[in-house]
Structure 1
């Protein structure tokens, strides 16, 4: 079995905000209607996590579960645990109409950190960053590519497709260039 590597070798950039590519990170897409009776129990049993409310991401230890749409959850967890958790979730859901898929190698994760982290995404995403609450997950575009992000302690996390990781790193670092703040202090 080959060893997992991050999309950009854990690249980082120091500007008015710190940009870091995080990885490898385990990611599972779980497609199922959120009113599926077996879903909350499967999440609790396999991940010790609750079903997140609409547009929220919750943490349960090293596991995060994010609401992506009315029939999709994104689960982030340690990379080494993905295969076992995919099997366990599939078994816990039984014959219910659901899909559990490992998307770890198809996605990448970035940290945008610092007091002015929100300004980086203000330039790239059509989202009211002032209204973004900690734990709120937003699906949108970062410049020209689909992305999802949320606020957490110390900054923001952004998920994108791995195939555009270099582009995303480029737009994030360009947006975080020193002297380009929207609201200089």
Structure 2
């Protein structure tokens, strides 16, 4: 059998906090509490262990080590006190996978209609992987992919299948 295009590995130990607020008004407070720069539209910022991603005009997603998420959630709630905002722990709602290897782009391209060639290094895409909602961003050597926990087995299977050389999966 030919070598896989990429290795697909489940990533555990991450916490995720959804932040909904008027980013123009509360962005600086969010950035200070998260300890990361506020990302531009469709971008993600990182310090290497935490990521703050733009999800929509009024939503950010903070991804961080699970042991840090309670403290971060409290800091965000305090920073947004008095604002019309929501800070929610969504750690248990998501499944995360790393797709790492020399042809990780090919694996993602088999499953998603996103234009990877146009995706900047700090880009975050909300899209789909085959028939399930997914998001992804570039990491060292490939991509980090997240989806709903309810579709984790399916997402893992399609990522692994897409990593098989010659597989004919196509998003269209």
Structure-2-length-normalised TM-score? 0.91
Conservation of the 8 A alpha-carbon contact between 2:42 and 2:55: yes
Say if 2:58 is the partner of 1:71. yes
Pick which of 53-62 and 69-78 moved more. 53-62
Q: Contact 1:43/1:89 (CA < 8 Å) preserved in 2?
A: no
Equivalent residues of 1:52, 1:67 under 8 A apart: yes
Give the distance between the partners of 2:95 and 2:68, measured in 1 at CA. Answer: 17
**Whole-Å Cα distance in 2 between the matches of residues 152 and 102 of structure 1?**
23
> Structure 2: where are the runs of 5+ without partners?
none
What is aligned with 2:145? 158
**Unmatched runs of 5 consecutive residues or more in structure 1:** 1-13
SS in 2 for 1:111: strand
Whether 1:120 and 2:104 are equivalent positions in the alignment is no
CA contact (8 A) 2:4 2:164 kept: yes
Are 1:138 and 2:146 an aligned pair?
A: no
- Equivalent residue in structure 2 for 1:60, among 41, 44, 47: 47
Matched with 2:75 is 88
After the TM superposition, list the runs of 4 or more consecutive aligned residues in structure 1 that deviate by more than 6 angstroms: none
1:40 correspondence with 2:31: no
Contact residue 32 and residue 99 of structure 1 kept, 8 A? yes
Deviation of 1:181 (Å): 8.4
Q: For this pair of structures, how many residues does the alignment match?
A: 167
Aligned match for 2:19, one of 30, 44, 58: 30
In 1, the alpha carbon distance for the partners of 2:31 and 2:42 equals 17
8 Å CA contact 2:5, 2:106 repeated in 1: no
> By how many angstroms is 1:15 displaced?
2.0
Cα root mean square deviation, aligned: 1.6
Structure 2 residue aligned with 1:10: none
